[in-house]
Amino acid sequence: MKNDRNRAKGLREAFLVWARRCALPVPAVPEEPLGERTRAALDRMLAGKRFVFLGEPDHCVVEKYPFRLPLIRRLFTRGWRHIAMETGRSMGWRGDRFFETGDASPLHTEEVESPSPTDLALHGKTLEFIDGHEDLFHEQLRRLSESRAPGTPRLHYWGFDLDLGIPLGSVALIKQLLEGHSGSQVHELLSVIDRLRGLSTDAQLTQIEAIQSHLSAYIDIRADERLGKLPSWLSFLHDSVAAEKRPRMNQDLRGHYRWRAERERLMMQYLDEIVGALGADERLILMGHNGHLSKDASRLRFHPQQSRFWGFRSWLRALGYEAYFKLTGYPANMGDSVGTHLHRRYPGQVLSIWMLYGQGSLMTPKGPRTVRLRDDTIEPLLAQVGDRFLLPLDDVDPQAKTILSRANIRSAEGEYASADLTCQADALYFVKDVNAL
């Protein structure tokens, strides 16, 4: 036992020596540019890459914005013009319209600002966080886009998720596709779409399915090449409305996980459509939770490592997690992810950067939650390295890799996860303190 403790101490000390040597500072103020050394390292990591993942450990922490913006600004100067976000497809469309026109009203229509009662009850606090911070982020991105040289492409914005909480969010886009087109069948379809609001979820699904089943018979629509995207958006509308009937975690844990796996599959499908719409030389930045942007999701586990390296309490805690998974039938790992899917399709073309944090407050559905440093995760070690730094993982000392390959980390809402970080990400961004206010 004493030998194990001495070995663990030696590995920690070696990790700190390596990490302090390799850590690259990132400014705390998003308007401040990256330093020369950090820019050079980022440019080196970008060589041959078409996709960049900017992951986050939790959706509702303010510090993710100063992490994203300096990196996006650097990518923008190197020709990156597309951003895909873990948000609804229709919200991506609305954000893109804002980037194009400067008119923010599509981001604040009634259908966007009136989430379903169920989602409002379960996620009200997190929705408040998003409303309070995403507008400023969108405005900062638009200013970046407008700073480009005359005649060069603007920044584009995409969403690759369901319209969770705003199931009819894509109705405005579908109506825009249809409006201005002639033919009685188009007007008939518009009338049906207009009547969806106010119907029950089941009635909405029935109406959308009826439209889909009869679409091939609508000669007016089939004859108009400009409506080629209509079937895809109707399918997405159906997916988003159907998601209102998803099993909730506090009601059906197994059913909820099965739904999450289906959601991930749909996100892959939506992302494939985004990538398919890009030119062969166009590059894409993806933003979302670390788990969604995992390069090897099957080895991302929802529990601490069952190893004495992190201490006896961590080993016992891992046993407790194992018992919980057996009792509930909830899976112990991620299974698959959007990031893994893209990494498989385009090997060698993905640069994945995960954000980790030390302590602070998170915004949960029930309100702020305080999270403290835990001595059985990698975050306290990173906190000894410094604050707000980028740590490339492409040239890791063997002793440091021993720790990175068996790392306990924080996932959503401060819960435990574990992974070989060198297989999941190409670099880490670390900030000591986060807050949700």
With a CB cutoff of 8 Å and minimum separation 6, the contacts of 203 are: none
CA distance 293 to 287: 8
Supply the pLDDT for residue 171. Answer: 93
**Under-50 pLDDT residues of the chain:** 122
Q: Residue for token digits 């991302």?
A: 300
Say if CB 291 and CB 58 are below 8 A apart.
no
Quickly tell me which residue has 């599509």 as its tokens.
106
Element (H, E) at 371: strand 367-371
Cα separation, 239 vs 251, in Å, equals 21
Q: Which tokens hold the place of 337?
A: 């992810």
Distance CA(116)–CA(10), nearest Å, equals: 53
DSSP string, 169-220: TTHHHHHHHHTT--SHHHHHHHHHHHTTTTS-HHHHHHHHHHHHHHGGG-HH
What the chain holds in terms of domains, given with CATH numbers, is: 2-162+257-434 (3.40.1660.10), 171-244 (no CATH)
| Residues in Cβ contact with 128 at an 8 Å cutoff, skipping those fewer than 6 apart | 363
Question: Helix, strand, coil proportions of the chain in percent (round to 5)?
Answer: 55, 15, 30
- Burial group, residue 436, by CB count within 10 angstroms (0-12, 13-18, 19+): buried
DSSP state of 399: H
pLDDT of residue 261: 92
204 and 170 Cβ atoms separated by less than 8 Å: no
d(CA 194, CA 351): 43
pTM of the model: 0.93
Tokens of 250: 């506090």
pLDDT in tens, 4-53: 678 888 899 999 999 999 999 999 888 889 999 999 999 999 999 999 99
**Pairing mode, strands 51-56 and 284-289:** parallel
Q: Where are the beta strands (DSSP E) in 79-190?
A: 82-88, 156-161
pLDDT at site 220: 60
pLDDT in tens, 145-172: 999 999 999 999 999 999 998 999 999 9
Report pLDDT for 276: 95
Around 67, how many Cα atoms within 13 Å sit in the side-chain half-sphere? 30
End-to-end CA distance of the chain: 43
Phi-psi region of 183 (alpha: psi -120 to 50; beta: other; left: phi over 0): left
